[in-house]
Amino acid sequence: MIKFQCVLLMALAITGCASQQKFIGEIEDPEQEVTRLIEHELTNIQSGEYCRPDPQSPFNGCDGALQRLTQLFTKFPDYERLQLALAVSYQARNQNREAQYYLDLLLRKDRPRPEAAILAAQLAMEEGNTRRAETLLNAQKRLNPMHAGIHETLAAVFYLNHEPEKGFSALAAAEQLGSPAWRVAYHRGLLYELSKNESAACAQYAKSYTEKASFRLPEGRILGLTHNPICLELAKFLGGA
């Protein structure tokens, strides 16, 4: 599934240079300050260490960057990159209700907002509401059919719904639109495993591991399937058995 750090990277993609700390009242254009705070939050999320104070924030404690983003929102409530950054920051802290508030702002009109829809779908899946997740994603697919992440996240919904054929179709679309090969292979492996095709699943896991050795989940899936002779041989080849 697309992870929230990927969504934060998407928000960071439309950036200027980082800025120096200013009082909120002094800020006329929030872009540079939001960019700086997104970079800080992304570092925290990627490291898994959320208790890293923002050195430029007047707030003490772990959530200085989040407090600063919230403060900026009071002056720039319609700035969408800020809304998305707040949603990701709250979701990373498992404060899903707060994250949903900002996602609802982004999705309140019938507009192409794929990153917000992906995040909202992830929240829905965490709550077991795959119907809502699918509805959100299909609405965005109609508005932005060429967004790889929408198709990839739909594949995750179909996996949870035990609909592997729909999942394979969604993954094929995601692959054609540029989703990373290592991630597509891993998710395809999950779908093959769901379909009771363990040999094909292990072949996809091996492909994912070969594409990105730092991603360790495929190796674990193969090791869990070593009762299958092909999976056992692949585990030996990868050095895990």
pLDDT tens digit string along 93-105?
889 999 999 999 9
pLDDT of residue 64: 75
Contact indicator for 176, 147 with CB cutoff of 8 Å: no
Number of Cβ atoms within 10 Å of the Cβ of 49: 10
Q: What are phi and psi of 101, to 5 degrees?
A: -60, -45
Instruction: Give the type of residue at 165.
Output: E
pLDDT of residue 154: 98
pLDDT tens digit string along 152-206?
999 999 999 999 999 999 999 999 999 999 999 999 999 999 999 999 999 999 9
pLDDT tens digit string along 10-58?
544 434 334 444 445 556 677 888 888 888 888 777 766 655 555 555 5
pLDDT of residue 20: 45
Domain residues of the chain, as ranges?
181-241
pLDDT tens digit string along 127-160?
999 999 999 999 999 999 999 999 999 999 999 9
Mean pLDDT of 64-85: 90
Contact indicator for 20, 56 with CB cutoff of 8 Å: yes
Measured between alpha carbons, how far is residue 25 from residues 29, 37, 71, 74 in Å?
11, 17, 10, 11
Q: Supply the pTM of this predicted model.
A: 0.81
For residues 109 and 240, the model is more confident at 109
Q: What's the helix, strand, coil split of the chain in %, to 5?
A: 70, 0, 30
Is a pLDDT exceeding 60 seen at residue 208? yes
